[in-house]
């Protein structure tokens, strides 16, 4: 897909020349956005002082309106130009792919058959170009927005940094780190006991999602692979570890409800040390791969020590010198939302891939029916193919349904974050209404840049499935080409 367009002399002028033209146009668009943000701050400050300055501010009001009108005309013209050039660019990419597949790799010759060849060349390249047109421009624009607006958001963070530092210092996070081994052992216990029982399929799905999380999933898979051979002994061990892991939960529950804990702190620490020791001994005797076990233990211990240090004031000096808090909050919320979106939509690319296969099978049969009367009368085959298509779509709609629920919740949760961060400064008078408007605008632009994958997750999913199909098609063509070269040699 890359070689056909960017490594071809025929398409070099379009790929690089038109691409550079697009970058320059997008850079001008970003500059207009900066001017709009500055105008927005002056506009809100004028509205806030309207009662104080009276009729004298009317001239400034009209001047700001004329300034907005000029910026709007330039912005609309640039948007139309960028969209037109981007569509031409994407279509030329599709054209390069089509002729590359049909001629350069010998697609017209005898080869190993692969499902939906015509669809992959026609429709998949069309969808690829369409998504590149929309998503590619968003990505480039996002990068430019981050480059321009990140320093501005960093400067505005000076107005809210003291508030954020006070919140972090007063937050009581002590001993939450004790839950890390408890969560891991609980997930393993559930998996070992119910993995082969159909009645527990909701728990199985939940645990399988844990296995796909980048860091936690790697730890779980390593531990599971180590203990796979002897599950009987491990079941007894998991019961004991699960019992021990309940101690931190009981302690925190008593702390939240102001109930005196019946055991002293040294007992809690000894129980946690015993849990770690039992886990280490179990890993030693259950598997010869001791080095992997040590890596897992060290990783868990490092995370625990880090969380403990943050919660017990070791990092208080670091917190006191935090700068650019708005930038860090935008980054953390975006990365957290991206991680959750990745887990929630983990099954979407494969379902989209299967959907394209069923669509291709139905389309192929309908094409044959155009010229074959006997196939036209075979309605059972069409009904069966459409039934498969319907079943796949139902699964796809179900998975998109809960992903949409998560996306809506995330958008609503993020909508008032800037207001929460600047509320104290706004009501104490240290932040003007114009500053608040600029902070809100810049924060959402930066957060939107960090969250571009969350906001376009369904499009990313479709693009990933298309790339999977095109890579599969290219691998098949390369395989035929290598066989042809071997026969000639």
**Coil, strand, or helix at residue 287?**
coil
Higher pLDDT residue, 416 or 241?
416
Q: Crossing angle, helix 19-48 and helix 137-156, to 10 degrees?
A: 40
Q: Express each pLDDT in 440-485 by its tens digit.
A: 888 888 887 777 777 777 777 778 778 877 877 777 777 766 666 6
Least confident of 209-218, 299-308, 322-331: 299-308
Helix intervals (H) in 213-262:
214-227, 231-256
Q: Please tell me the predicted confidence (pLDDT) of residue 74.
A: 92
Tell me 172's DSSP state: -
CB atoms within 10 A of CB 49: 15
N-to-C CA span, the chain: 28
111 band by pLDDT with thresholds 50, 70 and 90: low
Q: What is the pLDDT of residue 124?
A: 79
**Top-ranked range on mean pLDDT: pick from 119-128, 272-281, 289-298:** 119-128
pLDDT > 90 fraction of the chain, expressed in percent and rounded = 2
Q: How far is residue 334 CA from its own chain's centroid?
A: 8
What is d(CA 436, CA 429) in angstroms, rounded to the nearest whole number? 11
pLDDT top residue among 295 and 368: 368
Distance CA 472, CA 360 (A): 15
Helix (H, G, I), strand (E, B) or coil at 259: coil
Percent of the chain scored above 70 by pLDDT?
59
Mean pLDDT score, 289-313: 46
Most confident of 177-181, 206-210, 326-330: 326-330
Q: What's the chain's Rg over C-alpha atoms?
A: 29
What's the rounded Cα separation, in Å, for the pair 25 and 19? 10
Per mean pLDDT, which range of 20-29, 88-97, 239-248, 384-393 is the poorest? 239-248
Q: Residue 167 has what pLDDT? A: 59
Q: Model-level pTM greater than 0.75?
A: no
What pLDDT was estimated at residue 222?
Answer: 60
Q: Rounded mean pLDDT of 164-178?
A: 53
Q: Provide the token pair at 92.
A: 């030329």
Q: What confidence score (pLDDT) does residue 66 get?
A: 92
pLDDT of residue 128: 81
pLDDT surpasses 70 at 34: yes
Q: Are 446 and 145 in contact (CB under 8 A)?
A: yes
Q: Which band of pLDDT confidence, cut at 50, 70 and 90, is reported for residue 424? A: confident
Contact 394, 444 (CB under 8 A): no
Given this model, what pLDDT does residue 367 score? Answer: 76
Residues 6+ apart with CB under 8 A from 204: 191, 194, 195
Whether residue 344 has pLDDT greater than 80: no
Q: In whole angstroms, how far apart are CA 319 and each of 176, 322, 419, 460?
A: 18, 5, 22, 36
Question: Which residues, including other chains, have CB under 8 Å from residue 336's CB and lie 6 or more apart?
Answer: none
Tokens 């095109």 locate to 470
Of 36-40, 318-322, 482-486, give the lowest mean pLDDT range: 318-322
Q: Identify the pLDDT of residue 69.
A: 93
In the block, residue with structure tokens 């058959």: 113
The per-residue pLDDT for 192 is 45
- pLDDT band for position 279 (cuts 50, 70, 90): low
Better-predicted residue by pLDDT, 310 or 75: 75
Predicted confidence (pLDDT) per residue in 184-200, tens digit: 544 444 444 444 444 44
Average pLDDT, the chain: 70
Give the span between the Cα atoms of 252 and 174, in whole angstroms. 9
DSSP string, 7-50: T-STTHIIIIIIHHHHHHHHHHHHHHHHHHHHHHHHHHHHHHTH
Backbone angles phi, psi at 415, to 5 degrees: -65, -30
Q: How does pLDDT run across 360-382, given as a tens digit for each residue?
A: 788 777 777 767 666 655 677 77
Cα separation, 488 vs 413, in Å, equals 63
Domains in the chain: ranges and CATH = 3-169+327-488 (1.20.1560.10), 175-311 (no CATH)
Is the distance from CB of 339 to CB of 214 less than 8 angstroms?
yes
Above 70 in pLDDT, residue 182?
Answer: no
User: Does residue 179 have a pLDDT over 60?
Assistant: no
């Amino acid at each position: 897909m890359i070689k056909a367009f960017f490594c071809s002399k025929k398409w070099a002028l379009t790929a690089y020349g038109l691409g550079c033209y697009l970058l320059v146009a997008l850079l001008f668009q970003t500059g207009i956005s900066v001017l709009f943000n500055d105008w927005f701050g002056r506009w809100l400050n004028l509205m806030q002082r309207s009662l104080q300055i009276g009729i004298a501010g009317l001239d400034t009001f009209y001047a700001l309106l004329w300034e907005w009108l000029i910026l709007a005309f330039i912005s609309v013209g640039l948007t139309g130009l960028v969209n037109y050039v981007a569509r031409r660019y994407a279509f030329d990419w599709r054209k390069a792919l089509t002729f590359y597949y049909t001629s350069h790799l010998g697609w017209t010759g005898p080869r190993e058959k692969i499902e939906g060849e015509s669809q992959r060349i026609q429709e998949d390249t069309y969808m690829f170009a369409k998504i590149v047109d929309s998503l590619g421009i968003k990505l480039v624009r996002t990068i430019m927005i981050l480059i321009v607006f990140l320093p501005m958001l960093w400067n505005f963070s000076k107005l809210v940094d003291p508030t954020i530092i006070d919140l972090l210092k007063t937050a009581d996070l002590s001993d939450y780190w004790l839950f890390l081994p408890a969560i891991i052992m609980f997930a393993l216990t559930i998996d070992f006991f119910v993995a082969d029982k159909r009645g527990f399929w909701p728990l199985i799905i939940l645990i399988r999602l844990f296995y796909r999380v980048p860091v936690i999933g790697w730890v779980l898979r390593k531990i599971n692979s180590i203990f796979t051979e002897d599950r009987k002994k491990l079941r007894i061990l998991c019961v004991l570890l699960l019992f021990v892991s309940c101690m931190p939960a009981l302690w925190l529950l008593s702390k939240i409800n102001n109930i005196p804990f019946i055991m002293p702190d040294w007992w809690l620490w000894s129980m946690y040390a015993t849990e770690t020791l039992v886990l280490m001994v179990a890993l030693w005797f259950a598997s010869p791969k001791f080095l992997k076990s040590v890596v897992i233990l060290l990783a868990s211990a490092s995370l625990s020590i880090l969380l403990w240090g943050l919660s017990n004031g070791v990092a208080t000096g670091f917190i006191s010198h935090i700068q650019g808090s708005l930038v860090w909050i935008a980054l953390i919320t975006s990365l957290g939302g991206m991680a959750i979106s990745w887990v929630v939509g983990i099954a979407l690319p494969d379902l989209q891939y299967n959907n394209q296969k069923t669509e291709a099978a139905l389309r192929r049969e309908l094409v044959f029916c155009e010229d074959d009367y006997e196939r036209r009368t075979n309605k059972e085959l069409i009904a069966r193919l459409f039934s498969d298509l319907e079943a796949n779509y139902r699964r796809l709609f179900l998975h998109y349904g809960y992903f949409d629920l998560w996306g809506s919740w995330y958008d609503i949760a993020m909508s008032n974050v800037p207001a929460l961060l600047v509320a104290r400064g706004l009501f104490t008078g240290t932040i003007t209404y114009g500053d608040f408007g600029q902070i809100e605008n810049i924060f959402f632009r930066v957060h939107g840049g960090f969250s571009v994958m969350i906001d376009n997750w369904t499009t990313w999913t479709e693009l990933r499935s298309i790339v999977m199909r095109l890579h599969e098609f290219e691998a098949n063509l390369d395989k035929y080409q290598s066989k042809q070269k071997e026969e000639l040699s």
